[in-house]
Amino acid sequence: MNRILSLVRRCVEDYDMIQPDDRVAVGVSGGKDSLTLLVALAKLREFYPIPFTVEAFTLDMGAAEGRPGMDFSPIAQLCREMEVPYTILGSEIQHIIFDVRKEKNPCSMCAKMRRGALHSALLEQGIHKIALGHHYDDAVETFFMSLIFEGRLSCFQPVTWLDRTQITQIRPLLYCGENLVRHTARRLSLPVVENPCPANGNTKRQEIKELIYELQGRYPGLKSRVFGSMQRLPLPEWGPVEHRRRPLPEEIGE
């Protein structure tokens, strides 16, 4: 956990993600990434020199026909143990996408519906900052997806200001590789909830993940060079703030 905490703190500082007295919502899907992020931020608030609070939110996607719903009670118990307020938001997003609309490529619409429902709930509670569980590998994969499928150099930003909703999205796990996150979640016995989405494992992102795995085998260090190039170019908002030390690719927690 110390390794994750060190990298999360460094990422938060490099991109000036947290300001005094922020209420930081964590979008908890039940996967290893969001749960690891939740635990890391709950720990960080205990000693970080800038005071902030953490609250957890889960958007229950409902159930598609023939698919069971998800049990979030273990996550609720974890939040009680960490003294983190926890809110479960109900929805019928899976039913709408798979049973009503019968979407063949559901990921984009699903993401928009989830984001809209979650942001509406945050604004109702007066929260304007949300931490998302995207990590180092997610960033590299998104860069490749934009390049291959859209023909542009792009990726989500470490800090994103959404002017329409006045919500700021932060991604404190960006210096943490997926293997590090997975091993941390396993060591801490975090209550990971299996993803019941019918499209899980059959997406363009999965194709890119497999491609990068193959390329990384041929060209060791490929991922770290891609990640470093996004900071050095930099892509919009990817350059760490000037008064911070730039992270070296080899220091990334793969």
- DSSP annotation of 152 reads S
Instruction: Supply the pLDDT for residue 161.
Output: 93
pLDDT in tens, the chain (254 residues): 899 999 999 999 999 999 999 999 999 989 999 999 999 999 999 999 999 999 999 987 665 555 566 788 999 999 999 999 999 987 656 656 665 655 566 666 667 777 878 888 899 999 999 999 999 999 999 999 999 999 998 999 999 999 988 999 999 999 999 999 999 999 999 999 876 666 565 678 889 999 999 999 999 999 999 998 888 877 878 887 654 555 554 556 66
Instruction: Supply the pLDDT for residue 243.
Output: 46
Tokens found for residue 123: 């604004």
* DSSP state string for 53-76: EEEEEEE-----TT------HHHH
Laid out side by side, the sheet with 52-59 consists of 86-89, 52-59, 22-27, 129-131, 167-170, 159-162
- CB 130 within 8 Å of CB 170: yes
Instruction: Supply the pLDDT for residue 114.
Output: 76
Instruction: Supply the pLDDT for residue 204.
Output: 85
| Torsions phi, psi for 59 (to 5 deg) | -95, 110
Instruction: Supply the pLDDT for residue 25.
Output: 97
Instruction: Supply the pLDDT for residue 121.
Output: 87
* CATH code at 2-251: 3.40.50.620
Which element (helix H / strand E) includes 159? strand 159-162
Query: What's at 57, amino acid-wise?
Result: F
Query: What's at 109, amino acid-wise?
Result: M
107: left (phi over 0), alpha (psi -120 to 50) or beta: alpha
- The alpha carbon torsion through 136, 139, 144, 146 (nearest 10 deg) reads 180
